[in-house]
Structure 1
């Protein structure tokens, strides 16, 4: 059977990509197009999120962080939380029940303007997935997500610091680290002038210069 265009060279096309060229993004999209997104996706990936914080939160939400209760060991105290030295280390305990981290969570709740009392890590994620999805305004949505991801990342880093580097930060130092992280991210967000933005400035002690002036309409001829 003769070729229709023998004078032309063959060309390889990557079918998942509209352009025909290989694209990792298009390939992943093609592979996952039939899989529904988890209800908590918006808690992890959102505008002004910090990639390393989002990744840690993503793993934590799936309860896949290598907490000590998931490791097989013969040492008696090898599963005890290094933050409080009194309870089994698990996702529920580390991020929600530990006496070292509970005050950090309570303080951030006050700063973000919400008060919730779930009884487990999973119930917390379920609550946040529902209530932070359709919240109106930057304050009640993105700031809460930013604070949550920063809290989880900082707690996990402190846990690793104590285990692998034999060093530690105090509760107060860790809290200031979290607050500084959130403040720096908010300062780069260029907030528009609104009641929620002014509340951010007041609650997080930001300079008024972070509010972006309203866009000047173009001159008419």
Structure 2
């Protein structure tokens, strides 16, 4: 009952509790028998909310959330996936890709599904994350155009760790931001085209993929041009 008091559960000098209907109630009754009965009726009831080892006089959702959710150490990739000015759908795809949880053909075959593990783009190698996103001939043609606008690395990117390292190795914060945006946009468009090819049997050229990436990048930068972090990005991207 909403307005019930502890004294309502006491009869004389003992507890007056309903018959337990669950194991939890049995355990509660057993615990109450170990406690000294509350003070006399002329004393007001008080309550405490205990979150972890911190007793509180009022309920605080923030404190309760911190107790319920075990806080982990900050991941070293967090700034590449989540950052101010990023596009939410691009961030989500990047996040799933970073964890290597995309349902690539290689993973689907590993789950026992009756599908070929071959890459949907080239049909020459298994469709793993690193192959699909970085080393496939189709993908490298897309990346070639993207990297030219973000100061290309000295060697081709062959795995995910190298991609993350390249993003962070830029000599300026604005170039780092440009690389983050370009990487997330490229990953999103490659995965979108892979699905389009798988489910709709629609094939388009790498040049068309880059056209979509270029259009998205221009729109992203234009919409955020009032921010000081984005003011010079358009010139960097268009050179």
TM-score higher than 0.5: yes
Name the SS for the 1:168 alignment partner.
coil
Between the two structures, name the one with larger relative contact order (CA 8 Å, sep ≥ 6): 1
Task: Determine the structure 1 residue equivalent to 2:155.
Answer: 117
CA distance in 1, matches of 2:142, 2:42: 70
Task: Determine the structure 2 residue equivalent to 1:98.
Answer: 136
- Pick the structure with greater CA Rg: 2
Contact map agreement 1:118 1:124 (CA 8 A) in 2: no
1:32/1:117 CA distance change after superposition, 3 Å? farther
CA distance in 2, matches of 1:189, 1:5: 65
Task: Determine the structure 2 residue equivalent to 1:145.
Answer: 180
Contact map agreement 1:67 1:91 (CA 8 A) in 2: yes
Task: Determine the structure 2 residue equivalent to 1:2.
Answer: 39
CA distance in 2, matches of 1:93, 1:126: 15
Long gaps (5+) in structure 2 = 1-37
Pairwise CA distance, 1:21: 3.4
**Over residues 13-53 of structure 1, what are the superposed CA-to-partner deviations in whole Å (9 max), with x where a residue is unaligned?**
7679x983335x972697343x2222111100011111111
Task: Determine the structure 2 residue equivalent to 1:170.
Answer: 205
TM-score by length of 1: 0.73
Mapping of 1:1-221 within 5 angstroms? 1-2=38-39, 7=44, 10=47, 20-23=59-62, 27=65, 31-33=69-71, 35-72=72-109, 73=112, 78-117=116-155, 120-128=158-166, 130-131=168-169, 135-138=171-174, 140-191=175-226, 197-198=231-232, 200-205=233-238
Q: CA RMSD in A?
A: 3.4
Query: Across the two proteins, how many residue pairs are aligned to each other?
Result: 197
CA distance in 2, matches of 1:5, 1:128: 72
Long gaps (5+) in structure 1 = 207-221
Name the SS for the 2:162 alignment partner.
helix
Pairwise CA distance, 1:197: 4.1
1:148/1:7 CA distance change after superposition, 3 Å? same
Pairwise CA distance, 1:12: 5.5
Pairwise CA distance, 1:188: 1.4
CA distance in 1, matches of 2:64, 2:89: 23
